[in-house]
Structures are given as structure tokens and as C-alpha cells.
Amino acid sequence: MTLERPLIISARLLPAVKVGDDTLSIEFNEASKSWAFFVDTKDGKTFSDDGLRGRFSDVREVFSCLFDFMLACAESVRFEKYSGRKGENSELFSPEIVDWIVDNQSAIEYLQFELSGENAW
């Protein structure tokens, strides 16, 4: 498999992207037939989640789908903050991952843009 920017190989030896100073890696879990992801932060914290399912043509598509869910989560958190009403996607991930997503929303949006291929000048 050949990875092209913004994809890299993580220290876990998995397909990954840099999100700010942190690394987001993905791995296919054969037992559950789903994709897991790992967030390794610059200060040594690790967060992970499992359960992204779907038919994906390549790892770029997996990241793109994961980013869609992450950005929907961030939007719901923002909605809750400003409206005081419960956002429907604010609990898609564990609380520590939600905090990480909100803190890195701009970087995730940029990576989503890069993966879309729309940035070809």
C-alpha cells in the first residue's frame, strides 16, 4: 500500500495522519470487522475507539468517514454550548475523545479538505 500526503505511517506502524502535534492512526479489527482508531498525543496520552464499519475503497476513505463523524460531534458540542439544548451527535465518542476533537476541530477540517482532493491548485 502506498500512502500519499497527508497520510503517514505511525509509530504503531499503522496508516495515520498528524493532527496538530498528535497522531491519529487506524487499524482494521478482523474479529469485529470494524475499524479502530488511536489518538496518541504529544504529551503521551492515548485514546482509542472501535466500531467504524462500512465498505471503504481505501484508507483515505476510512479517514474521511471518521472525520465526518468527528466533525458532526464537534458541531453538536458547539450547538449544545450555544443553545443549551442537547446535540444529537455530541456523544458519538467517549468524553476524552470528544474533548480532543473539539480542541482539534480546525486541524480535522483541514485534513478532511486535504483528503477530498479539492485542494489541487
Q: What is the pLDDT of residues 93-110, one digit of tens each?
A: 999 999 999 999 999 999
pLDDT of amino acid 33 = 86
Q: Is residue 3 part of a domain?
A: no
Cβ neighbours of 99 (radius 10 Å): 13
Q: Is residue 121 part of a domain?
A: no
Q: Is residue 19 part of a domain?
A: yes
Calpha distance 71→82 (Å, rounded): 17
Mapped onto helix, strand or coil, the DSSP state of residue 59 is helix
pLDDT of amino acid 4 = 82
Tell me the average pLDDT across 15-31. Answer: 94
Query: Regarding predicted confidence, which is higher, 9 or 116?
Result: 9
Q: How confident is the model at residue 1 (pLDDT cuts 50, 70, 90)?
A: low
Total domain count for the chain? Answer: 1
Q: Is residue 25 part of a domain?
A: yes
Q: Is residue 34 part of a domain?
A: yes
Q: How confident is the model at residue 24 (pLDDT cuts 50, 70, 90)?
A: very high
Q: Is residue 28 part of a domain?
A: yes
Find cell 479538505 and name the residue: 113
Edge-to-edge order in the sheet of strand 34-40: 8-9, 15-19, 22-29, 34-40, 46-52
Q: Is residue 1 part of a domain?
A: no
Q: Is residue 2 part of a domain?
A: no
